């Protein structure tokens, strides 16, 4: 018995842990300041690498390499050189710190360069002389957030782990395929975790807090309605079971039958029939009433006569 209660307790504890974990995950998904996902890190690392490559590829500089006595001096274009790749890899992760959190945007779009609308509004208030308290000094308002700092750290790790794949893309593919596809979608991310790669900012993907509050209210109303319907269904099932039990015992009759009757019209007709029968019994002629009275008196006299004879 003790082992049974222990097993039940463990099941309850496990269920509670699952519920708390689900709530925690939901909070993480909706929090704009949550840590960046692997998809988000790869997306912006690949984006910065591609953009930097595009900028440095415009030059026509030529590198003059050293030579040996038995070999002629070599020349190589900078845009095809390993030096260009190494310099780009060194620059990419520090550029991640230029990003800010835009809390008014959905999903991976929350990471973007430039000042967010919220911070722009707050700076505007300060410029007008309004005192704004954020719990941190004014000079730290534009410092990289914790999520951006964490993404920079993840960037360092990702570049180190996938440097060979990036080199192959640079030297062996002529960079025909976008790095976002070559690195992130095909090599770093599983298919079910690559959704953020298709998310783009067009100016319309903003978080509508009023709409979210309305959707939350509607969801609560739906839950309340479902709960009410389940309660009603449970009550109906209980009445049906009681009706079946009484019918099996032969106890279903009169008003009990009407209370459990599924068809209200049929039950009402039965009530009316019983009332009519009661009225018919009451509507008797004086002769019938006298006859019944004489019969009752006669029965009483016979009973007394029998007692006297005994």
Residue 132: pLDDT above 60?
A: yes
Assigned domain for 224 exists: yes
Are 78 and 124 contained in the same domain? Answer: yes
Burial zone of 106 (CB within 10 Å; 0-12 exposed, 13-18 middle, 19+ buried)? middle
Mean pLDDT of the region 221-243: 86
Give the chain's mean pLDDT. Answer: 78
> How far, in Å, CA of 297 to CA of 199, rounded?
101
Mean pLDDT of 136-159: 90
Domain that holds residue 252: 208-262
Query: Any idea which residue has 């000094």 for tokens?
Result: 137
Residue 17's pLDDT is 39
Whether 252 shows a pLDDT value over 50: the answer reads: no
Do 165 and 69 share a structural domain? yes
Assigned token pair, 113: 């360069």
Q: Higher confidence at residue 174 or residue 102?
A: 102
DSSP alpha helix (H) spans, the chain: 2-30, 38-56, 82-96, 117-127, 146-161, 163-172, 179, 209-248, 254-260, 264-282, 286-309
Mean per-residue pLDDT, 23-34 = 55
Q: What is the mean pLDDT of residues 25-45?
A: 78
Residues 62 and 47 in one domain: yes
Band (pLDDT 50/70/90 cuts) for residue 20 is: very low
Please check whether residue 120 is in contact with residue 142, taking contact to mean a CB–CB distance below 8 angstroms: no
Encode pLDDT of 56-85 as tens digits: 888 777 776 766 666 666 778 888 889 999
d(CA 121, CA 116): 9
Distance between CA atoms of 137 and 132, rounded to whole angstroms? 10
Q: In this structure, are 161 and 224 located in the same domain?
A: no
Mean pLDDT score, 227-248: 84
Question: 189 and 213 in one domain?
Answer: no
pLDDT band at 162 (very low <50, low <70, confident <90, very high): very high
Does residue 273 belong to any structural domain of this protein?
Answer: no
State if pTM tops 0.75: no
For 216, 251, 297, 310, the CA distances from 300, given in Å and listed in that order, are 80, 36, 5, 16
Residues of the chain with pLDDT > 70: what percent?
73
102 and 188 both lie in a single domain: yes
Whether residue 40 is found in the same domain as residue 184: yes
Could you tell me which of 88, 77, 8 has the C-alpha nearest to residue 47?
A: 88
Residue 77: strand pairing partners:
62
Residues 281-301 as b/e (b if ≥16 CB within 10 A, e otherwise) read eeeeeeeeeeeeeeeeeeeee
Predicted confidence (pLDDT) per residue in 179-193, tens digit: 999 999 999 999 999
- Position 71 scores a pLDDT of 63
pLDDT in tens, 270-302: 788 877 777 766 666 667 767 777 777 777 777
Confidence of residue 307 (pLDDT cuts 50, 70, 90): low
Look at strands 99-101 and 74-77 and give their pairing: unpaired
Nearest to 151 by CA among 41, 290, 28: 41
The predicted structure's pLDDT at residue 16: 37
Identify which has the larger pLDDT, 111 or 57.
111
Cβ proximity of 111 and 35 under 8 Å: no
Q: How many angstroms separate the CA atoms of 179 and 88, rounded?
A: 13
Q: Which two tokens stand for residue 290?
A: 């006298």
For residues 261 and 162, the model is more confident at 162
Same domain? For 127 and 244 the reply is: no
Position 143 in a domain = yes
CA distances in angstroms from 22 to 13, 26, 36, 248, listed in the order given? 14, 6, 19, 47
Judged against a pLDDT cut of 80, whether residue 309 lies above it is answered with: no
Mean pLDDT confidence for 214-224: 79
As for how many domains the chain has, the answer is 2
Buried b (16+ CB within 10 A) or exposed e, 264-279: eeebeeeeeeeeeeee
CA distance from start to end of the chain = 72
């Amino acid at each position: 018995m003790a082992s049974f209660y222990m097993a039940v307790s463990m099941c309850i504890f496990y269920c509670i842990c699952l519920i708390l974990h689900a709530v925690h995950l939901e909070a993480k998904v909706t929090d704009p300041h949550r840590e960046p996902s692997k998809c988000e890190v790869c997306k912006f690392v690949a984006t910065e690498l591609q953009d930097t490559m595009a900028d440095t590829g415009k030059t026509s500089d030529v590198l003059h390499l050293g030579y040996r006595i038995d070999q002629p001096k070599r020349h190589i274009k900078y845009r095809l050189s390993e030096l260009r790749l190494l310099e780009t890899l060194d620059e990419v992760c520090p550029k991640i710190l230029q990003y800010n959190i835009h809390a008014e945007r959905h999903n991976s779009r929350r990471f973007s360069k430039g000042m967010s609308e919220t911070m722009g509004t707050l700076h505007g208030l300060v410029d007008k002389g309004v005192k704004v308290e954020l719990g941190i000094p004014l000079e730290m308002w534009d410092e990289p957030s914790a999520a951006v700092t964490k993404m920079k750290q993840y960037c360092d790790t990702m570049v180190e782990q996938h440097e060979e794949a990036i080199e192959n893309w640079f030297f062996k593919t002529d960079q025909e395929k976008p790095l976002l596809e070559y690195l992130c979608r095909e090599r770093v991310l599983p298919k079910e975790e690559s959704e953020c790669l298709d998310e783009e900012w067009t100016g319309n993907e903003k978080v509508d807090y009023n709409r979210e509050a309305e959707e939350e209210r509607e969801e609560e109303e739906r839950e309340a309605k479902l709960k009410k319907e389940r309660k009603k269904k449970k009550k109906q099932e209980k009445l049906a079971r009681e009706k079946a039990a009484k019918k099996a015992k032969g106890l279903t009759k009169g008003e009990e039958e009407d209370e459990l009757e599924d068809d209200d019209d049929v039950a009402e007709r039965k009530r009316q029939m019983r009332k009519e029968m009661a009225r018919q019994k009451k509507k008797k002629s004086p002769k019938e009433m006298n006859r019944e009275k004489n019969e009752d008196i006669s029965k009483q006299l016979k009973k007394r006569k029998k007692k006297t004879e005994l």
